[in-house]
Structure 1
Amino acid sequence: MKPRHQHQFSLLQASENNPSLAQLMARQKASSVRLQAIEGLIPPMLRPLVKGGPFEDGAWCLMLSNNTTAAKMRQLLPIFEEKLRACGLEVKSIRLKVNRQI
């Protein structure tokens, strides 16, 4: 049996050859950049309970671990939106979604 040639590709290389993967990576990066921009505004105790979710068509979703975190984050949304705009990061809206598996 002939040995199979295995080609290793980085995720970046793979995304360059796959438009769907490239689009997914771009949305993930957009979410990460936004989360980094507002991270300092999130109370330190809540930071581990907040993850950046999908960013699409100007709408960004924050994934939260519980309803208590969601209640506090809801109060901070105007400040988050202001900070993102000040940083030149597009955001039409921020949605909050509770995902207990975070």
Structure 2
Amino acid sequence: MHPDACISSGCPFVYAYEAWGHTFMGCLQKIFDVEIDLDLLEAAARTREGFGAVKARRAPLPMCRTEISACYEHRLDGAGCRNPEFHEVLESRPTFRVFARPE
């Protein structure tokens, strides 16, 4: 998912807000669920590498610019790159725990 493409294409689901002296942008449809500092996104977009992609959290809309990055290239087959364990994670219980250590 390419957030800079969302802005340049004028996607109607892009939102922005100001907080702590910065402007942050995100997606109302939660295709990606991070909020990005707009100044950092624009600065990175001006470089040769660009800002890059963020992980899509749900199926992209038809107007979304997306790409698939291979993560299990040794598992390539006719269907392409895929993670066969993707649907094995149980959503009924947390997959990790966070422990706070008060100082």
* TM-score (norm. length: structure 1): 0.25
- The answer to which structure has the higher strand fraction is 1
* TM-score (norm. length: structure 2): 0.25
